[in-house]
C-alpha cells in the first residue's frame, strides 16, 4: 500500500466570483436568480455620491427586483448601525442583501444578515464559528481594493461602548456572490487607495506566515504579494488607470481568499484594537503596525519571510537572517514612504498610558491565535511602543 503523506485536513471557502469591468451591472440579474423579491442595499454616502450605488440600483430596477436603501454606515461600522439596518430589513420585508462599498458597508451588511436570521444583537456572535443560522443571500460589489470582505468569512463590527472592533469569523458569513469591478476603484482618493492597498498586502503577508496556512492558501498569498507590491505605488499615483486598478483588485481578491481561509495575525489583532480606540481607517492602522509586528514575528517564520522577500523582488545581500530581516523592513518602510502612510501612533494621539488597554484588547482578538509566534501581553505592548 502506498504511503500517504501525513497532512492535516484543510477547508477552503469562497463565494461565486465575477471579476471585470462592468461586473457591478450584474447585481440585478443575480438577485433575480436567487429569487429575491426585495433587497436591502447597504452602502454609504460617499459611494452614493460616486455613482456606484446608483448603477447597482438601476440594475435591480431593470430586473424588476424591489429595493430599500440603508446608507447610515460610517467607517468602522458600529453595532448600533447593524441594529438599525436589521430593523429596516424587517420593516421593508426584504429577503436578501446587496452591499455596495468598501469594507464598512460590506461588514455592516453581513452584520445585518446575521442579526436578521438569528434574531439576536450582532455582538453576541463575536468569535469563531458562533453563527448558528446562515444569513439571507448576500451579493457584494466592492469599491475599494483592500478589505476583501466580499470573499471572506470575517465581519468586523465596532463596539463603540468598549472602544474596540470585534471579529465575527464563520463560513456562515461568506457572501454568496462577489461582483468585483475594478472601475469602482477610480473614485478613491490617493490616500484611501494607499491605505486599502496596504490592508491587502498585510492580508497576504499575514496569511502566508499564519500558523493555519496551507497549500490552498499559500498560492493565493504569494501571488497577491507579487501583484500588489509591484503595482501599488503606480496605482496610487495614477488613480484613473483602470488597468492598474484591475491588478490591485485582483491582488486584493487573492489576498482575501488566502486570509479568509488561513486567518491573520498580530497586525490585524492590534489594528482592530487601535481602530476601535481611535476610530481610524483600518488600512492605516495596519500600515502603522506592520513594521513592529514583522520585527517581532520574523524569528517565528524565517523561511516564510524569505519566500515573501523573494516575492517582493528583494534579493538578500548579506546572506544572514539578520540581513534579510533588515532588507524586508527597509522595503516596507520605503513603500509606506512612497505612498504616504508613514505616520506614527504618537502622531495619531496615542500616548504610553494607552498601550496596556490596547494590548489587552488585542490579546483577546481571534486573529492573535494564528500569529506565527506566541505573544505575551508585554510583547504586544512593546510592539505598540515601537510604533509610537
Same domain, 196 and 122: no
Whether 130 has a pLDDT exceeding 60, the answer reads: yes
Our count of domains for the chain comes to 2
The answer to whether position 376 is within a domain reads: yes
Same domain, 199 and 159: no
Instruction: State how beta strands 154-159 and 164-169 pair.
Output: antiparallel
Q: Closest Cα to residue 228, out of 156, 286, 270, 274?
A: 286
Whether 240 has a pLDDT exceeding 60, the answer reads: yes
Spatial separation of the C-alpha atoms in residues 288 and 272, rounded to whole Å = 12
Q: How do residues 274-304 score in pLDDT, each as one tens digit?
A: 999 999 999 999 999 999 999 999 999 999 9
Expressed in angstroms, the distance from the first to the final Cα of the chain is 59
* Sign of the torsion angle spanned by Cα atoms 259, 260, 266, 270: positive
Q: How do residues 174-230 score in pLDDT, each as one tens digit?
A: 999 999 999 999 999 999 999 999 999 999 999 999 999 999 999 999 999 999 999
In the sheet that holds 164-169, the strands lie side by side as: 127-128, 164-169, 154-159
Same domain, 305 and 373: yes
Same domain, 225 and 77: no
3-state class (DSSP) for residue 385: helix
Same domain, 178 and 195: no
Q: Which of 185, 211, 228 is the last residue of a domain?
A: 185
Q: Which domain holds residue 112?
A: 16-185
Grid cell digits, residue 47: 459611494
Same domain, 216 and 159: no
Q: How do residues 82-94 score in pLDDT, each as one tens digit?
A: 999 999 999 999 9
Whether 2 has a pLDDT exceeding 70, the answer reads: no
Same domain, 227 and 309: yes
- Cα–Cα distance list, 122 to 109, 130, 277 (Å): 11, 11, 19
- The residues, ordered by sequence, that sit 6+ positions from 188 with a Cβ below 8 Å of its Cβ are 143, 144, 145, 196, 239
Q: How do residues 248-267 score in pLDDT, each as one tens digit?
A: 999 999 999 999 999 999 99
Spatial separation of the C-alpha atoms in residues 34 and 39, rounded to whole Å = 11
Helices (H), the chain: 27-33, 45-50, 52-62, 79-91, 103-118, 190-209, 215-237, 242-262, 266-278, 282-297, 302-311, 321-339, 355-363, 377-387
Query: What percent of the chain has pLDDT above 90?
Result: 95
pLDDT at 318: 75
Average pLDDT over residues 334-341: 96
pLDDT band for 5, please (50, 70, 90 cuts). Answer: low
pLDDT at 325: 96
Same domain, 235 and 305: yes
The answer to whether position 174 is within a domain reads: yes
Q: Which of 158, 185, 212 is the last residue of a domain?
A: 185
Amino acid at each position: 500500500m502506498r504511503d500517504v503523506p501525513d497532512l492535516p485536513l484543510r477547508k477552503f471557502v469562497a463565494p461565486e466570483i465575477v471579476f471585470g469591468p462592468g461586473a457591478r451591472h450584474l447585481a440585478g440579474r443575480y438577485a433575480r436568480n436567487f429569487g429575491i423579491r426585495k433587497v436591502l442595499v447597504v452602502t454609504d454616502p460617499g459611494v452614493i455620491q460616486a455613482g456606484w450605488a446608483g448603477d447597482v440600483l438601476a440594475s435591480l430596477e431593470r430586473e424588476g427586483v424591489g429595493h430599500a436603501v440603508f446608507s447610515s454606515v460610517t467607517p468602522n461600522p458600529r453595532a448600533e448601525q447593524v441594529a438599525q439596518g436589521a430593523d429596516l430589513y424587517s420593516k421593508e420585508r426584504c429577503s436578501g442583501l446587496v452591499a455596495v462599498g468598501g469594507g464598512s458597508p460590506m461588514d455592516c451588511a453581513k452584520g445585518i444578515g446575521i442579526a436578521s436570521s438569528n434574531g439576536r444583537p450582532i455582538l453576541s456572535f463575536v468569535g469563531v464559528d458562533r453563527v448558528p443560522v446562515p444569513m439571507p443571500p448576500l451579493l457584494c460589489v466592492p469599491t475599494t481594493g483592500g478589505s476583501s470582505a466580499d470573499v471572506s468569512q470575517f465581519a468586523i463590527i465596532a463596539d463603540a461602548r468598549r472602544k474596540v472592533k470585534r471579529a465575527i469569523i464563520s463560513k456562515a458569513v461568506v457572501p454568496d456572490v462577489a461582483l468585483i469591478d475594478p472601475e469602482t476603484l477610480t473614485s478613491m482618493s490617493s490616500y484611501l487607495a494607499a491605505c486599502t492597498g496596504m490592508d491587502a498586502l498585510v492580508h497576504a503577508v499575514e496569511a502566508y506566515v499564519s500558523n493555519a496556512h496551507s497549500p490552498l492558501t499559500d498560492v493565493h498569498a504569494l501571488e497577491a504579494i507579487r501583484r500588489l507590491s509591484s503595482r501599488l505605488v503606480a496605482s496610487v499615483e495614477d488613480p484613473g488607470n483602470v488597468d492598474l486598478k484591475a491588478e490591485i483588485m485582483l491582488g486584493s481578491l487573492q489576498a482575501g481568499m488566502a486570509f479568509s481561509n488561513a486567518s491573520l495575525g498580530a497586525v490585524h489583532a492590534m489594528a482592530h484594537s487601535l481602530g476601535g480606540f481611535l476610530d481610524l481607517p483600518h488600512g492605516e492602522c495596519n500600515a502603522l503596525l506592520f513594521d513592529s509586528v514583522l520585527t517581532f514575528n520574523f524569528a517565528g517564520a524565517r523561511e516564510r519571510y524569505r519566500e515573501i522577500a523573494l516575492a517582493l523582488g528583494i534579493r538578500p545581500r548579506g546572506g544572514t537572517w539578520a540581513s534579510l530581516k533588515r532588507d524586508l523592513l527597509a522595503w516596507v518602510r520605503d513603500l509606506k514612504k512612497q505612498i504616504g502612510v508613514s505616520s506614527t501612533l504618537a502622531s495619531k494621539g496615542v500616548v504610553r498610558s494607552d498601550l496596556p488597554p490596547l494590548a489587552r484588547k488585542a490579546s483577546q482578538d481571534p486573529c492573535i491565535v494564528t500569529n506565527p509566534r506566541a505573544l505575551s501581553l508585554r510583547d504586544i505592548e512593546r510592539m505598540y511602543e515601537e510604533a509610537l
